[in-house]
Structures are given as C-alpha cells and as structure tokens.
Amino acid sequence: MSDKRIYLTTPIYYVNARPHIGHAYTTIVCDVVRRYYRLLGYDTYFLTGTDEHGTKVLQAAEREGLTPLQFADRNSQAFRDLWPQLSIVPDDFIRTTEARHKRVVARILQNLYDRGEIYFERYGGPYCVGCERFFTETELAESGGLCPDHQTQPVWIEEQNYFFRMSNYQQWLIDHIRANPDFIRPERYRNEILSFLAEPLRDLCISRPASRLPWGIPLPFDPNYVTYVWFDALVNYVSALDWPDGERFARYWPAAEHYIAKDILKPHAVYWPTMLRAAGIPVYRHLNVHGYWKSGEFKMSKSLGNVTNPLDLATVYGVDALRYFLMREMVFGLDAAFEETAFNERYNSNLADDLGNLLSRLTAMIHKYCGGRVPPAHALEPDDEAVLAQADAVVRSAPQWLDELKFHQLIEETLQAVRALNRYINDRAPWALARQGRRDRVETILHTAARGAVVALQLLEPVMPTKMAEALSWFGLEMNPAGIDLQLLKVGAPVAAGQVLFPKVRLDEEKPAETTGAAKPAVAAAIKNPKSTLQNGKPAMSEITFEEFQKLDLRVARVLEAAPVEGAQKLVRLLIDLGAEQRQIVAGIAQHYAPEQLVGKTIVVVANLAPRKLRGLLSQGMLLAAHDGDALRLVTTDAACAPGSPVS
C-alpha cells in the first residue's frame, strides 16, 4: 500500500446553532489541503459531520418546541447543505445519531469497562453547560471564575457517574508528545499541552445520568446513564472508517490528520489520544490546530453572537474569493481578524488587480498580436527563463509548505509569481515591440507570460476551483487530475479574450466599519455592469415613506401542502396556514424548489395583496424570496414562529 495517503478530518460540528464562518474556515482548509494533496498524487479521504447529543442540543430543541432528533436533523442538514455552496466536497458526512457511530461507541465503552478502565464514583464540581464539561478550580482561577470560552459562571453539579482512568495514561502521553515533536502542531499548542500535563491529570467523567440528560448514547453496561458528549463525539474519526475491521480504517487511519480550532485543543490532545491508547487503537498522525477568527477584540463565537454567515460575503464577492481570503489571511495557528475592509482590500488588490488584470490584458494582447491563439516561444532570453523559473519554484516548494501548514505562504508565493508576470509584461512592453515589427519577440513574451499564468492558475485551483477552471478554459485547458503540468499550455490553442474574472467590488464608504458586536458585512456593490446606476458605491434604490411601508401586512405562514401546477413549468400551488385561516398561493418557484421540499417550511408572505388568478387558480397573497444570481431562496424565520405572526 502506497505511503502517499492522507486522511483529513474536521471536528464534527455541534448542532445547537447554525453554521458560521468558523465552521466554514476549518472545513475549507481541509478541502483545500485535500485538493493540493490530490495534485501531488495522494490517495485522500476527507471526513466532516455533526455532533448531535448533549445538554445544549436538548435545551435548544426544547426552546423551539422540537424533539432533539428533529432539531438535530434540521441543523445537521444546514451544515450538509452549506458545504456544496462553498465548493467543499467531503467523502463522508457522519452524524453521531447514526447507527454505525453508536455501535462503535458502545463497543469501545464495553471493551474499556470489561478491562477495568471505567469505574463508578460520586463527584461534584463546577460545570459549564456550554462546554459540557467540569472545570477544575485552577482552570477557573485563571479566568476570574468564569468559563474562559463562554464568559459564564459554571454551576455546581454533584452526582454519581462513570469515570475513565485517564490518569493512568498521563506519562505515556507526555512521552509520546516528546518523542514525536510534530504530533501536535504548531509548536505553541504542543507546549501548551505539555504545560497542562505538568500537573496531575484527573480521570475523565464519561457519563451523564439519563434522568438529567436523556439525549445521548446509553452506556452499554448501564442504561441509566448516557455517554458524555466528548467521549461520544471523538469516536467519529474511527467509526466513520468502520473500525475495527473496515478496509477504510486499515487504509486511512495510519495517515490521520485532525484539523481543529484551538478552543477544542484539550479534548483532542488529551482525551482522544488516551482513549485511543486505552482501547488499543493506534493514535492519529498529527493534530493541526488553528487560531480564532476575531471580530474587533473578540473571538467570533455563536455564544457571543458576533459570528458571520459565510454566504453573506460569498453573495457579494463569490465563493472562490471567500475561500481565498480565509486561506490567505490566516497564518495557520495564529488568530486573524475578520473584517470586510480587509476582505475587500485583498479581493481588489490580489484577485482583481494582480491575477484578474494579468489574465485580462494577456488574453487581449494574444488576440491583438497573435490572432487569438497561443503563440509559440522562439529563442528564450534570460528574463523569460527567470520569470518561468519563479512559477516553477512555487510548484517545487508546494509539498514543503503544505507539510509545514504554511498555506498562506503557498498562496502568497503564487501571487508573487503572478505579480512578477505583470512586471515582466510591463518591462518587456510587447506593444512597443509589435510597432517595431519584432513579431518573434512579441510571441515569445506572450507565450512565456501565458505559460507562467497557466502554472499559477493550477497552483490556485485547490483554493478557487471554479474561477481557476473558468480561467483555464480561456486558454482551452482543463486541470490535469494527475497533477500540476508545467507544459499544460498548448501552442495554437484558441484563447478567449477581454473577460473579467474578478469584477472589482467597492464598499459603501458612508457606513463605518464595525469593530464590536455582530460581525455583519458592510454594504458592497459589485461593479459588473458599467451601465448600472450607483450611489455611494451601491445600487440606487427608490424610496418609500414609512406610511407606505405600513400598508404591507407581512405574516409568518407554514406550508401545509405543495403541488405542481399542471401545464406550468414554473408554478407551484401552496396551501398555507396563516393561523386564523388557510389560503392558497400560486408561486413561480418550481425551478428552485421541489414540492416536497416546501411542505413544513415556515415562510413570510404579503397577506394583504389583492387576490388574482394564475392559470385559473386563485392566488391569495405573495411569498417573499431573495434572488441570488440565478438562484432563489425563500425568506424564512430563524426559529419556530406561530403561523399568522406579524412581521415588522
């Protein structure tokens, strides 16, 4: 079996809230790294999923009047739906409510219990519901008595529970970390764990009474207790590979690379390896830990309410630009600031001005001076060879930068090669040479620039797969799945000219940048249509008075039935519940939603719109929807809301 294998995992994300930019970052990192390693000829496997048990899920479900499973189903689907929208393509998506996962958790627990690694005891201590764990007094002393992540006062809980003899593995873990310096990386997190392990390690409470928390995996040896959420969740990394006898486990587990944020360092660096050791399972290869995305001075956190929805920015700048910013802006392991001003500056500078400008001017000159086809290279001069060597050097260095988690460096070096190509064109001035009749030299310069540009596009494809595929198609090319091809450019191939890959985006300068509170993107307008009317950098809008707005009666409604309208490709007939009555609405959404997707949705409708007939059917109202390019998305509420509730 080849050693060129890699198993990439994100944390499985907790479903007590919807996905945000932190979830998107870790998952995009894994997707980008996986794509790079595929170009290097690796056999890759990429896992993500959702963590669905525990107190927080139970409480959140109760607040919305849902069962825990209904709540988990809905929020887990939100994660699953988001990934394709961000060009993320995992091989597997695991849920901790799946039977395949529960079986493995039960098997490991029973094995440890049978061998005396788990015991029963009464225990009391300060407990954070947000973290779902007990804290030591020492830990709380360092944060003023509050949970360091949630800034809340832990509650005292005292009860009988089952404990895993984690302390028995303290010295083994210390020895393993010291013998394998890159086991936890970057180094600062390795040192943090070694510092933590300098103090005596306590045994780990691995159960919760079912009387207090019924939502969890029952202990196989005592159904009166459910499994502690961390002991449950961490097992996903092997349950998804069909441990112990699955072919995927044998193939990929020796090459396991966990990617996490630093807030869950301790469970992954202490709980998980000791659990694996006790269960007789080899430990993972690397734990790769990144920092926080911050808004102002604070970590982005759903608990603090200052998170950003990744699709908000993707709507304005495009998914590939979002992926680019996240990968380029954060030095893996350090914290980074998420501000749209920085996003906008990097987008316009790196993507629109550097890369986009290179491609636009290069393809235009190939059309003007070379008949719209890739020209041949004649005698290469030292400056031609030098600019190609810079791009080739990035290709050769890519494996090292990947291994060292220097993703930002790999991207920046690629952009440096792009900037060098722009300088090369400026300095060689093929337009001036064309006026002098030096056709061979013009062709050589434009061939050299095109060849270097195609190498850069291949290097950036893992980060921006859609845009790079589009740009390669301008040269009549597709990515070579076997890897980066330095000779991919083909002489004589037709070239598409004058297209804009990254339209510039300017911010609304009247809106001050936000430094605290919710991390909402500033208003931005894409300059895609030069004839569009802009005011202060945003599309002009006609105004209405408050009195005119008050004439609209917006109401929450629940879809009871949905069916296609016979003979109409775009229309769907909806029966909606408005609380005091039921109504029929005919809507042109058939190309965006199947009828079965609509039943049960909570939507917003204009309830006082005058009735009208469509295809002979009476339509009493209008639903609200947002247009996202060619896509259409229904306006819904972010939590359960009674039908007929007014919207204001």
- Give 10-residue mean pLDDT values along the chain (648 residues): 89 89 93 97 97 94 95 95 95 98 98 98 81 73 78 86 98 98 97 97 95 96 96 98 97 98 97 98 98 70 54 87 96 89 92 96 96 96 96 96 97 97 97 96 98 98 97 95 92 91 76 37 38 37 56 82 79 82 86 73 86 79 76 73 78
| Backbone dihedral region for residue 116 (phi beyond 0: left; psi -120 to 50: alpha; all else: beta) | left
Q: How far apart are CA 287 and CA 190, in angstroms?
A: 9
Instruction: Write down the pLDDT at residue 394.
Output: 97
Q: What CATH number does domain 340-473+481-541 carry, 3.40.50.1100, 1.10.10.10, 1.10.730.10, 3.30.70.100?
A: 1.10.730.10
Kindly tell me the burial class for residue 325, based on how many C-beta atoms sit within 10 Å of its own C-beta (0-12, 13-18, 19 or more): buried
Q: Looking at residue 508, what is its pLDDT?
A: 62
Residue 190 Cα to chain centre, angstroms: 25
Rounded to whole angstroms, the Cα distance separating 211 from 226 reads 9
Judged by DSSP in three states, 460 sits in helix
What is the per-residue pLDDT for 527?
Answer: 33
CATH architecture of 546-647: Beta Barrel (2.40)
Encoded tokens for 425: 């064109």
In angstroms, what CA-CA distances link 305 with 182, 295, 309, 509, 519?
Answer: 35, 11, 11, 25, 9
CA distance 29 to 261: 11
Superfamily for domain range 5-290 = HUPs (3.40.50.620)
120 contacts: CB under 8 Å, gap ≥ 6: 160, 161, 162, 163
Token reading at 624: 């609200």
> Is the N-terminal amide bond of 244 cis, ω within 30° of 0?
yes
- Pairwise CA distance, residues 288 & 184, whole Å: 6
Pick from 210, 262, 201, 227: nearest CA to 132 = 227
What residue spans define the domains of the chain?
5-290, 340-473+481-541, 546-647
Distance CA 645, CA 420 (A): 59
> Residue 185 burial by CB count (10 A; 0-12/13-18/19+): exposed, middle or buried?
middle
Which token pair is 287? 């734990």
- Active site residue ranges: 20, 23, 128, 131, 147, 150, 299, 302
What pLDDT sits at residue 530?
Answer: 32
Query: What's the pLDDT score for residue 301?
Result: 54
> Residue 347's closest CA among 524, 546, 561?
524
Length of the chain: 648
Which residues lie below 8 Å from residue 312, measured CB to CB, with a gap of 6+? Answer: 520, 521
Tell me how far apart the alpha carbons of residues 409 and 329 are, in angstroms, rounded to a whole number: 10
Cα–Cα distance, 167 to 602 (Å, whole number): 50
Residue 559, classed as helix, strand or coil, is strand
Phi-psi region of 484 (alpha: psi -120 to 50; beta: other; left: phi over 0): beta
At 104, the amino acid letter reads V
Residues 601 and 641 sit within 8 Å (Cβ to Cβ) = no
Give the Cα separation of 510 and 256 in Å (integer). Answer: 48
CB-side neighbour CA atoms (13 Å) of 557:
30
Neighbours of 370 (CB within 10 A): 21
Residue 92 CA to residue 317 CA, distance in Å, equals 28
Helix (H, G, I), strand (E, B) or coil at 162: strand
| Rounded distance between C-alpha atoms, residue 344 and residue 505, angstroms | 7
